[in-house]
Chains A and B, each alone.
Chain A
Amino acid sequence: MQQFEWIQIPYSLLTLFIVLNFGLLLNALMAKIAARVGRRRGIPIYQNYIDLIKNYGLRTSITHGIMFYLGPVFRLAGGVGLLLFVPTLYGSEMFSNLSFAGDLILALYFVFFGALGMALGAGESGHPHAAIGVSRGLSQMTMAELPFALAVFSVALQYDTLTISEIVKAQQGSLFHWTLFTNPLAVAAAMLSFLGSMMRPPFDVVLAPQEIPIGPPTEYHSSYLALMQTNRMIFPIAKIVIIMNLFFGGATNWPIFFAKVFLIYLFAVFVGVVFPRFRVEQSIRWFLIWAVPLGVLAIVLV
Chain B
Amino acid sequence: MVSPLFIIAAPLGTAFFISLFSKEKQRLAFLITLAAMLLMSLVSLHWVFTYLTSGPVDYYTAGTLPPFSINFRMALPEACLILLINLTGLFSTLFLKNSLLRMGRLSMAVLLIDIMSLSGIVLTRDVFNLFVFLELMAISTGGLVLLSEDNRAPAAGLKYLIVSQLVTILLLIGIIFAYHATGTLNIDGLTVASLTHSTGGKLAFFLILIAVIAEVKPFPANGWALDIYESAHPSFSVIFSVASSSAVLFATAKILSIAGPEWLPIASNVGIITFLAANLFALSQTNDRRLLGYSSLGQSGLVLAIIGQQDILGDHYLYVAGGILLAHAVAKAGLFWMSGIIKGRELTDWTTIQGHPFLIFSFATFIALLIGLPPFPAFYAKWELIHSLAGAGRFPLLAMILLGTLLEVGYLFRWFGIILKRKPDGPGVLQKKRHRKRMVIAATTAVGWGMGYLWGTLSPLGHLFHATPLLFALSFLLLDWLPARIKNSLAIAGLVGYFALQYAGYNPMQLIFASVILIGGAVILLAGFDNTGRRIGFYPATVLMFAGLIQLIEARTSFDFFAAWEILTVGSYYLILRGKQSEPHALSYILFSLGGAFLILTGFSLAAQGGYQIELQMLGTVPQSVAPWVFLFLALGFMTKTAAIGLHIWLPGAHAEAETDVSPMVSGILLKAGLYGLMLLLMTMGKQQLYGVELTHMLLWIGALSALLGNLLAIFQEDAKRLLAYSSIGQMGYALFGLALMNHLGWLMAMMFVINHYIYKSMLFLSIGGVARRTGTKEMYRMGGLLKLMPLSFIAVLIGIIAVSGVPPLSGFGGRWIFYNAIMTSEYRLPIAVLFLAGPIAFLYLFRLIHTIFLGQLKDEHRRIQEAPFWLIVPQMIFVALLMGVALVPGVALRRVDHYIGQFFPNEGGGLNWSGMTISSDFGYWNPVAIMVVVGVMFATLLAWLLFVNRQAQVVKQFNIVYAAERPYRPETTHFAWNFYAPYRKALGFLTQPLVTRFWQTVTDLLHAASDLFRRIYTGNGQVYAIHLLAFVVMVYLYSKGL
Contacts of A219 in B (CB 8 A): 961-962
Contacts of A112 in B (CB 8 A): 805, 807, 843
Given contacts A100-B927, A109-B816, A110-B808, contact A281 B954 (CB under 8 A): no
- Interface pick from A38-46, A149-157, A172-180: A149-157
- Interface pick from B85-93, B622-630, B827-835: B827-835
Contacts of A129 in B (CB 8 A): 976
Interface residue tally on B, bucketed by range: 35 or more
- Interface pick from B350-358, B937-945, B1015-1023: B937-945
Judge if B184 is at the interface, Cβ distance under 8 Å.
no
Judge if B1010 is at the interface, Cβ distance under 8 Å.
no
Does A284 contact B956, Cβ atoms closer than 8 Å? no
Choose among A61, A66, A119 the residue that contacts B851 (Cβ–Cβ < 8 A).
A119
* Distance, CA A131 to CA B968, complexed state (A): 15
Does B923 contact A160, Cβ atoms closer than 8 Å? yes
Task: Give chain B nearest CB distance to A165 CB in angstroms.
Answer: 11
Contacts of A213 in B (CB 8 A): 962, 964
* Distance, CA A299 to CA B820, complexed state (A): 13
Does A116 contact B949, Cβ atoms closer than 8 Å? no
Judge if A81 is at the interface, Cβ distance under 8 Å.
yes
Given contacts A116-B807, A132-B976, A139-B844, contact A162 B923 (CB under 8 A): yes
Contacts of A84 in B (CB 8 A): 934, 938
Given contacts A1-B918, A112-B805, A131-B976, contact A102 B847 (CB under 8 A): no
Does A281 contact B986, Cβ atoms closer than 8 Å? yes
Of residues 904 to 943 in B, which have CB atoms within 8 Å of A's CB atoms? Answer: 918, 920-921, 923-927, 930-931, 934-935, 938-939, 942-943
How many chain A residues touch B (CB < 8 A): the figure is 84
* Distance, CA A80 to CA B984, complexed state (A): 30
Contacts of A277 in B (CB 8 A): none
Of residues 686 to 743 in B, which have CB atoms within 8 Å of A's CB atoms? Answer: none
* Distance, CA A69 to CA B959, complexed state (A): 17
Contacts of A131 in B (CB 8 A): 851, 856, 975-977, 980
Contacts of A33 in B (CB 8 A): none
Does A113 contact B808, Cβ atoms closer than 8 Å? yes
Does A56 contact B949, Cβ atoms closer than 8 Å? yes
Encode contact with B along A2-46: 1 for CB under 8 Å, 0 otherwise.
001000000000000000000000000000000000000000000
Choose among B787, B805, B942 the residue that contacts A66 (Cβ–Cβ < 8 A).
B787
Choose among A85, A123, A142, A279 the residue that contacts B844 (Cβ–Cβ < 8 A).
A142
Of residues 134 to 150 in A, which have CB atoms within 8 Å of B's CB atoms? Answer: 134-136, 138-139, 141-143, 145-146, 149-150
Does B949 contact A226, Cβ atoms closer than 8 Å? yes
* Distance, CA A162 to CA B818, complexed state (A): 11
Task: Give chain B nearest CB distance to A74 CB in angstroms.
Answer: 8
Does A73 contact B844, Cβ atoms closer than 8 Å? no
Given contacts A61-B953, A102-B808, A103-B924, contact A227 B946 (CB under 8 A): yes
Does B925 contact A102, Cβ atoms closer than 8 Å? yes
Does A109 contact B807, Cβ atoms closer than 8 Å? yes
Task: Give chain A nearest CB distance to B1 CB in angstroms.
Answer: 81
Does A63 contact B955, Cβ atoms closer than 8 Å? yes
Does B983 contact A136, Cβ atoms closer than 8 Å? yes
Does B976 contact A60, Cβ atoms closer than 8 Å? no
Does A138 contact B843, Cβ atoms closer than 8 Å? yes
Judge if B802 is at the interface, Cβ distance under 8 Å.
yes
Does B836 contact A281, Cβ atoms closer than 8 Å? no
Judge if B677 is at the interface, Cβ distance under 8 Å.
no
Judge if A65 is at the interface, Cβ distance under 8 Å.
yes
Task: Give chain A nearest CB distance to B923 CB in angstroms.
Answer: 4
Task: Give chain A nearest CB distance to B717 CB in angstroms.
Answer: 15
Judge if B988 is at the interface, Cβ distance under 8 Å.
yes
Judge if B837 is at the interface, Cβ distance under 8 Å.
yes
Choose among B801, B840, B926, B953 the residue that contacts A106 (Cβ–Cβ < 8 A).
B926
Contacts of A76 in B (CB 8 A): 942
Judge if B960 is at the interface, Cβ distance under 8 Å.
yes
Judge if B857 is at the interface, Cβ distance under 8 Å.
yes
Does B840 contact A145, Cβ atoms closer than 8 Å? yes
Contacts of B801 in A (CB 8 A): 116
Given contacts A73-B943, A299-B832, A300-B830, contact A139 B837 (CB under 8 A): no
Judge if A285 is at the interface, Cβ distance under 8 Å.
yes
Q: Which residue of A lies closest to B942 (CB)?
A: A73
* Distance, CA A11 to CA B974, complexed state (A): 47
Contacts of A296 in B (CB 8 A): 830, 833
Does B962 contact A218, Cβ atoms closer than 8 Å? yes
Contacts of B976 in A (CB 8 A): 128-129, 131-132, 135
Judge if B769 is at the interface, Cβ distance under 8 Å.
no
Given contacts A150-B836, A160-B824, contact A77 B844 (CB under 8 A): no
Judge if B806 is at the interface, Cβ distance under 8 Å.
yes
Q: Which residue of A lies closest to B956 (CB)?
A: A62
Given contacts A62-B956, A76-B942, A162-B924, contact A280 B844 (CB under 8 A): no
Q: Which residue of A lies closest to B833 (CB)?
A: A296
Does A81 contact B980, Cβ atoms closer than 8 Å? no
Judge if B498 is at the interface, Cβ distance under 8 Å.
no
* Distance, CA A211 to CA B303, complexed state (A): 73
Given contacts A77-B939, A113-B808, contact A101 B844 (CB under 8 A): no
Encode contact with A along B965-1004: 1 for CB under 8 Å, 0 otherwise.
0000000001111001111101110000000000000000
* Distance, CA A55 to CA B227, complexed state (A): 87
Does A138 contact B844, Cβ atoms closer than 8 Å? yes
Choose among B787, B930, B981 the residue that contacts A67 (Cβ–Cβ < 8 A).
B787
Contacts of A69 in B (CB 8 A): 946, 950, 953
Contacts of B964 in A (CB 8 A): 213
Interface core residue of B808, B832, B958, B963 (most chain A CB under 10 Å): B808
* Distance, CA A220 to CA B860, complexed state (A): 26
Contacts of A142 in B (CB 8 A): 837, 840-841, 843-844, 984
Does B938 contact A150, Cβ atoms closer than 8 Å? no
Does A116 contact B983, Cβ atoms closer than 8 Å? no
Given contacts A105-B924, A126-B974, A135-B983, contact A64 B956 (CB under 8 A): yes
Given contacts A106-B931, A284-B987, contact A126 B855 (CB under 8 A): yes
Judge if A98 is at the interface, Cβ distance under 8 Å.
yes
Given contacts A112-B805, A146-B837, contact A153 B820 (CB under 8 A): yes
Task: Give chain B nearest CB distance to A96 CB in angstroms.
Answer: 14
* Distance, CA A156 to CA B836, complexed state (A): 14
Judge if B788 is at the interface, Cβ distance under 8 Å.
yes
Contacts of A116 in B (CB 8 A): 801-802, 805, 807, 843, 847
Does B813 contact A106, Cβ atoms closer than 8 Å? yes
Judge if B839 is at the interface, Cβ distance under 8 Å.
yes
Does A63 contact B956, Cβ atoms closer than 8 Å? yes
Encode contact with B along A264-283: 1 for CB under 8 Å, 0 otherwise.
00000000000000011100
Q: Which residue of B lies closest to A121 (CB)?
A: B855
Encode contact with B along A107-131: 1 for CB under 8 Å, 0 otherwise.
0011011001001100111111101
* Distance, CA A292 to CA B958, complexed state (A): 41
Q: Which residue of B lies closest to A285 (CB)?
A: B987
Task: Give chain B nearest CB distance to A11 CB in angstroms.
Answer: 14
Task: Give chain B nearest CB distance to A299 CB in angstroms.
Answer: 5
Given contacts A98-B930, A124-B855, contact A149 B839 (CB under 8 A): yes
Judge if A92 is at the interface, Cβ distance under 8 Å.
no
A-B contact pairs, 12 of them (CB 8 A): A62-B956, A103-B923, A104-B924, A106-B817, A106-B931, A120-B851, A123-B847, A135-B976, A139-B987, A141-B843, A146-B837, A160-B923
Q: Which 7 pairs, one residue from A and one from B, show the smallest C-beta to C-beta distance?
A: A162-B924, A123-B855, A103-B924, A280-B983, A142-B840, A131-B976, A281-B987
Having A64-B956, A153-B820, A162-B821, one finds 14 other A-B pairs with CB under 8 Å, namely A1-B920, A61-B954, A62-B953, A67-B787, A77-B938, A98-B934, A119-B851, A126-B959, A129-B976, A131-B975, A150-B836, A224-B950, A284-B987, A285-B987
Instruction: Give A residues with C-beta under 8 Å from B.
Output: 1, 4, 56, 60-67, 69-70, 72-74, 76-77, 80-81, 84-85, 98, 100-106, 109-110, 112-113, 116, 119-120, 123-129, 131-132, 134-136, 138-139, 141-143, 145-146, 149-150, 153, 156-157, 160-163, 213, 218-219, 222-224, 226-227, 279-281, 284-285, 288, 292, 295-296, 299-300
